[in-house]
Amino acid sequence: AASVTRRATCPDGTQLMNAECCALLAVRDDLQNNMFNNECGDEAHEALRLTFHDAIAISPAMEATGQFGGGGADGSIMIFSDIETKFHPNIGLDEVVESFRPFQQRSGMGVADFIQFSGAVGTSNCPGAPTLNAFIGRKDATQAAPDGLVPEPFHDVNTILARFNDAGDFDELETVWFLIAHSVAAQNDIDPAVSHAPFDSTPSVMDGQFFIETQLRGVEFIGSGGIEGVAESPVKGEFRLMSDQQIARDNRTACEWQSFGTDQAKLQNRFQFIFEAMGQLGTDPTTLIDCSDVLPVPPPLSTVPHFPAGITINDVEPACAETPFPTLPTDPGPATAVAAVPRD
Ligand code: HEB
Ligand code: CA
Ligand code: CA
């Protein structure tokens, strides 16, 4: 059918598919006005990171040995934040959890649902992002996830692929899809000397620049150097994780990685798919209610794939044997440093 049938009219007059979703309208507006400022900035990035660190902590392999393997997207990272934010890969999320907690408390939503919802609302502010999915009805965690289930930037590719495969039966291509998130991202705590240094030159836009720029030859550490999990950067101001560097160059993942540099439609389609799958980890999806029509529609992309100023094809380390690296225009002017993500 070409048009959506709206079945419920909310108290404020908004038409939605499901009446159960009406309560999310005010939560959305509270987040947009008082947390995100309708921007794809620091807080939106943090909300998206939180969705992942809650959801990925689930391990059927651990369960098979008789241990509790975590509940996936169950809110455990916020409910048991005193335990989980002390886990090494969750560095920085203690503050993020506390800044979101009052919003969760006044939302009336379950914690698990709130985390995935706030990540989707925040990401809707990023031009180029797909419209994400919002589902409610998850069961909140009754115990903390075990340590060791969140990937680290110093893990090798085998370890990372095995972790995604265990968590949700994700294959190597789907693992690349997850990393589209790093197009709207920065680091804060891996190297505090260069806090808020982004992973690509467009951290407020969900575009292919992350995939283009991670394929450039690294030339220097922009911060302290010698930190575990950090790789050399191709341009000043930009930060590269060792995990991103290696997944971009591994023969199992490199062609999928390269494809996202210039195929925005594919990027949107795959991220929409994988965000939904991530939010269902640990949950029977047939028990959930679809509230996706509460989410704002992200602004369209207004930029085209390009090399940063001063960069050419000679700076690329191509890693896909099947397909040549695409021909791209270079931004005009002298090389400039990538700006840090503005702090709240
Ligand atoms: Fe991520 C960030 C790692 C995946 C989202 N990360 C980040 C960082 C790191 C990482 C280290 C920085 C932190 C600080 O602050 O310092 N990741 C990682 C790894 C992996 C990942 C290793 C696997 C491979 N992510 C991911 C996913 C997602 C994400 C899947 C979603 C979905 N991240 C993110 C974000 C960010 C990050 C959004 C940013 C945050 C801010 O900015 O704040
Ligand atoms: Ca969890
Ligand atoms: Ca970007």
User: Nearest to residue 122, comparing CAs of 28, 210, 212?
Assistant: 28
Ligand 1 atom nearest to 153, measured from its CA: 22
From CA 39, how far away is CA 260, in angstroms rounded? Answer: 23
Ligand 1 atom nearest to 160, measured from its CA: 24
Residues with CB under 6 A from ligand 1: 42, 45-46, 48-49, 52, 92, 151-153, 160, 178-179, 181-182, 184-190, 241, 243
E strand or H helix at 26, and its extent?
A: helix 23-31
Per-residue exposure over 104-123, b if at least 16 CB sit within 10 Å of its own CB, e if not: beebebbbbbbbbbbbbbbb
166 alpha carbon to ligand 3 midpoint, in Å? 28
127 alpha carbon to ligand 3 midpoint, in Å? 9
263 alpha carbon to ligand 3 midpoint, in Å? 13
Q: What is the DSSP string of 280-324?
A: TTTS-GGG-EE-GGGSPPPPPP-----BPTT--GGGB----SSSP
From CA 254, how far away is CA 73, in angstroms rounded? Answer: 28
Nearest CA to ligand 1 atom 43: 46
164 alpha carbon to ligand 2 midpoint, in Å? 14
Nearest CA to ligand 1 atom 10: 153
- Which of the residues are catalytic? 53
Tens of pLDDT, residue by residue, the chain (344 residues)? 445 666 899 999 999 999 999 999 999 999 999 999 999 999 999 999 999 999 999 999 999 999 999 999 999 999 999 999 999 999 999 999 999 999 999 999 999 999 999 999 999 999 999 999 999 999 999 999 999 999 999 999 999 999 999 999 999 999 999 999 999 999 999 999 999 999 999 999 999 999 999 999 999 999 998 899 999 999 999 999 999 999 999 999 999 999 999 999 999 999 999 999 999 999 999 999 999 999 999 999 998 999 999 999 999 999 999 999 999 999 999 999 999 999 87
What's the maximum distance between 2 C-alpha atoms anywhere in the chain?
60
pLDDT in tens, 171-188: 999 999 999 999 999 999
With a threshold of 0.95, tell me whether the complex ipTM lies above it.
yes
Identify residue 191 by its one-letter amino acid code.
D
